[in-house]
Amino acid sequence: MNKRTRIINDPSELVPLLQIFGSKRHKKVFDALLNLWMTKDELEETLGTDVAQSIMILKKSGLIESQWHMPEPGKTPQKEYHSSYSKVQTNFQCSVEDMSDIIMLTFKPYEEVEDIIEELEKLVIEGNESMSSLTRALNKSPMYIRAVARRSDKLAVMGQRIKEVEDKE
């Protein structure tokens, strides 16, 4: 099935993509959703593993879409998921230092980057959402801060602002 093309203009958008395609579990979830709409329960039954984190990362990166599945009468509706894109096009330029930060933040175990992620989350939750003030507060580049925010489950990058994620599905 021919689908849309995901256009990536910001190198920090690679963080969730590399997390997805660097993990066998996340990749299997994405592959299962390429041609079918499936609920979380159907995915878990098909793949034999918990898929909650995979769904969250895929949603955050914008690679899947969801809709409500209407079951038989008397049963509770569930969300079902489907992949949104089948192609990727990148269009950016960045320094090697920024790219190395992005790759490091993507592949280091969470425990090794937990301190910077939690520090950024704390600042944003306290109301500091501006990229310029966050770069001053953390003494890091805007690219680094966007990459950290994309690694966090609680934050989303919205232009020149970092916001707390409201839908933690």
Rama region for 168: left / alpha / beta (φ>0; ψ in -120 to 50; rest)? alpha
Q: Where are the beta strands (DSSP E) in 9-92?
A: 38-39, 64-69, 78-83, 85-90
Which pLDDT band, with edges at 50, 70 and 90, does 71 fall under? Answer: confident
pLDDT in the model for residue 2 = 56
- Tens of pLDDT, residue by residue over 123-160, are 999 999 999 999 999 999 999 999 999 999 899 999 89
Q: Which two tokens stand for residue 30?
A: 């994405």
**In the predicted model, what is the mean pLDDT of the chain?**
90
CATH 1.10.10.10 at 7-90, yes or no? yes
Candidates 7, 16, 18; CA nearest to 148 is: 16
Instruction: Report domain extents, the chain.
Output: 7-90, 96-164
> Structure pTM?
0.83
